[in-house]
Structure 1
Amino acid sequence: MDKKLIVVLGGGESGVGSAILAQKKGFRVFLSDSGVLNDTHRETLQAYRIAFEEKQHTGEYILTADEIVKSPGIPDTAYIMQKVLAKGIPVVSEIEFAGRYTDAKMICITGSNGKTTTTSLIYHILRSAGLNVGLGGNIGKSFARQVAEESYDYYVLELSSFQLEGVYDFKADIAVLLNITPDHLDRYDHNLQHYVEAKMRIIRNQRTEDAFIYWIDDPLVTKEIEKLKPAATTYPFGEKKNGHMAAYTENGKLYIQTKENIFDMELELLALEGMHNVYNSMASGIVAKLMDVSDEQLRTSLSDFKGVPHRLEKVATVRGVQYINDSKATNVNSCWYALQSMRTKTVLILGGTDKGNDYTEIEELVRSKVRALVFLGKDNSKLHAFFDGKVDEIRDAGSMTEAVEAAYQLAQKGDTVLLSPCCASFDLFKNYEDRGDQFKECVRRL
Structure 2
Amino acid sequence: MSLTGSLRRWSLRHRAVLVVTLLSTAAMSPGLLSEDRHFDEDDWLARGRLFHPWAAGRWRHPLWNSTAAIDHPLLVTHLFGLACGLGRRGEEELPPLRPEPRVGESIYRPAAGEAAWSAVLRARCVVATFGVLLCVGVFVSCRQMCGGVAGACAVGGLLLNPLVRSLSHRATGDVPVQGLILACLAALLIAANCVESGHVGRGGCWLAVAGLLGGLAASARLDGLVAPAALLACAVLLILVVPSEPRQTAAVVLGRRRAPIALGAASGLVLAALVFVLNNPPFATHPVQAARRTYAHRLWTVRVQSRLFDREHLTDARLRATAAVRYLGGQTGTLRSICRSPHAVWLDRAAALGGLVVLLRQAHRRTRPLAVLCWLIAGALWIGIVCSAVPFDWSRYFLGPVIYVTVLEGLSVGWLAGRLALGWPRRGSQGGPGDVCCRT
> Fold match, TM over 0.5?
no
Output the TM-score relative to the length of structure 1: 0.29
Which protein is richer in strand relative to its size? Answer: 1
Which structure is higher in RCO with an 8 Å CA cutoff and minimum separation 6? 2
Output the TM-score relative to the length of structure 2: 0.29
Which protein is richer in helix relative to its size? Answer: 2
